[in-house]
Amino acid sequence: MLSFFRDYKLFAVVFGIISVIIIAIIYNTLNVYQPLPIYQPAMVSTALVDSTIQYKKKYHKIADFSLVNQNGETVTQDNYKDKIYVADFFFTTCQTICPIMTDHMAQIQKEIKSDTEVMLLSHSVTPKIDTVAQLKRYSLKKGVDDDKWNLVTGDKKQIYELARKSYLAVKTNGDGGPFDMIHTENFMLIDKKRQIRGFYDGTNPEDIDKLLHDIAILKEEYNR
């Protein structure tokens, strides 16, 4: 009888070890690393994409730019070289979705404050109104960290083309001029190769959580 229990105990131990190994294998199989998609114009709503690139299915990247930030400093793609960044389009006098979006950007800023790989970039869609002085007042009001977050203004045509041909992020109403824009709630996650890796609703707290999670996934991609 004692021999039976000894044999049973040994069997139970071996079975337990094998079970743990099988569970670990299944867990790892189900949790295989999944890289973020690389968005192309053909994958995005045509309402947000310039007609000249709506067909494009690969090799899409954010174009070079030269704009001016809240401190009157020139900001170019070089400021974001080898950085992951979150971009959006807004205007300081907006009373609808912009305050929510800006508050959520401030939340992201807080989360990435000590992360040297990640930055933020907000483009004004009303550059004539959003002068450097206006952007500075807004940045102080919203707690913008100048080292992490640029609010930029500049040539309206350039901003329009960035919005429609690079970030695939704004609509056009087509009735007030060739470069009129209706910005959306979109936040875009941009990788170190200037590619779009995600779109998020900047007014939705759950999407902000997902964005922060996706930043971690994107960082993991560079550590592999």
Cα–Cα distance for residue pair 114/116, rounded to 1 Å: 6
3-state secondary structure of 176: coil
Residue 98 annotated as part of some ligand binding site: yes
Mean pLDDT rounded to a whole number for the chain:
89
pLDDT at 22 over 70: no
| Cβ contact 65:153 at 8 Å | no
Cα–Cα distance for residue pair 94/101, rounded to 1 Å: 11
Indicate the range of 98-102, 122-126, 181-185, 192-196 predicted with least confidence. 181-185
The residue ranges of every structural domain in the chain are 1-32, 41-223
| Cβ contact 89:183 at 8 Å | yes
Residue 33 is predicted with a pLDDT of 73
Identify the CATH assignment for 41-223 out of 3.40.50.970, 3.40.1030.10, 3.40.30.10, 1.10.40.50.
Answer: 3.40.30.10
Residue 24 is predicted with a pLDDT of 47
Q: Are strands 84-90 and 118-124 parallel, antiparallel or unpaired?
A: parallel
| Cβ contact 71:176 at 8 Å | no
Task: From 154, 191, 150, 151, select the one nearest 62 (Cα to Cα).
Answer: 191
Residue 183 annotated as part of some ligand binding site: yes
Q: What is the pLDDT of residues 142-162, one digit of tens each?
A: 999 999 999 999 999 999 999
The CB density around residue 150, as the number of other CB atoms within 10 Å, is 25
Tell me the backbone φ, ψ of residue 26, rounded to 5 degrees: -65, -45
Residue 94 annotated as part of some ligand binding site: yes
Residue 29 is predicted with a pLDDT of 44
- Angle 60-38-56 from CA coordinates, rounded to 5°: 35
